[in-house]
Amino acid sequence: MKRIIVAVTGATGSVYALHLLQRLCQREEVFVHLVVSPWGERVMVEETGKTVSEWLSALPSDNLRLHEHTDLYSPLASGSYPIDAMVVIPCTMGSLGSIACGLSANLIERCAGVTLKERRPLILVARETPLSSIHLQNMLTLSNAGATILPPVPTFYCHPKTVDDIVDSTVDRVLDSLRLADTKTKRWE
């Protein structure tokens, strides 16, 4: 069983998180721990017209558990809890900066700090444009600490025809980073 933390923050692109959740939750060998920031929820409602719980009701619930963003009593807050990897998708510059500074003011920041200290894979789907020197410095700090900075930059060599195809070209790379590529994964052959 692979245990993955999926954190959703308030950057544009909540659809990336939804595609990732749909693909992870189809896998019997995967268990997803989901944490959504308050702005993550607000942007999701803005962009998709549905709340987190409305989206979750359409997903298999056997292998997904939702954790409160403020719940630092969650087992996820401890490095002793067995977790294989964490993805922040999409990742705001605010959360990225807090993680780079080692803050643990909420469960997403704490989990990211734990993931780094335990030397587990941390994948940050960082979404902002253009990027300031502060954003770039924070990304370099995190990359040097072992995180993977994976901005949602689409590929066009697979000839995407729909927005879903473009979204999946990033989700494919996230699944590659998790070593969880599936049969839908497209590559340059």
Interface ranges with ligand FMN (CB under 6 A) = 9-12, 37, 39-40, 43, 46, 92-95, 127-128
What is each CA distance from 163 to 15, 27, 52, 104, 141, in whole angstroms? 10, 24, 21, 35, 32
* Least gap, CB of 8 to ligand FMN (angstroms): 8
* Least gap, CB of 151 to ligand FMN (angstroms): 11
* Least gap, CB of 51 to ligand FMN (angstroms): 15
Q: Token pair for residue 9?
A: 């923050």
Q: Token pair for residue 21?
A: 């959740």
Q: Which is nearer to ligand FMN, 39 or 81 (CB)?
A: 39
Rg (Cα) of the chain, in Å, rounded? 15
**Are residues 6 and 32 in contact, defined by beta-carbon separation less than 8 angstroms?**
yes
Q: Which is nearer to ligand FMN, 1 or 134 (CB)?
A: 134
Q: Token pair for residue 88?
A: 């922040």
Q: Which is nearer to ligand FMN, 103 or 181 (CB)?
A: 103
* Least gap, CB of 94 to ligand FMN (angstroms): 4
* Least gap, CB of 180 to ligand FMN (angstroms): 24
CA dist 153 and 111 (Å) reads 25
Q: Which is nearer to ligand FMN, 8 or 30 (CB)?
A: 8
Q: Which residue is nearest to ligand FMN (CB)?
A: 10
Amino acid at site 7: A
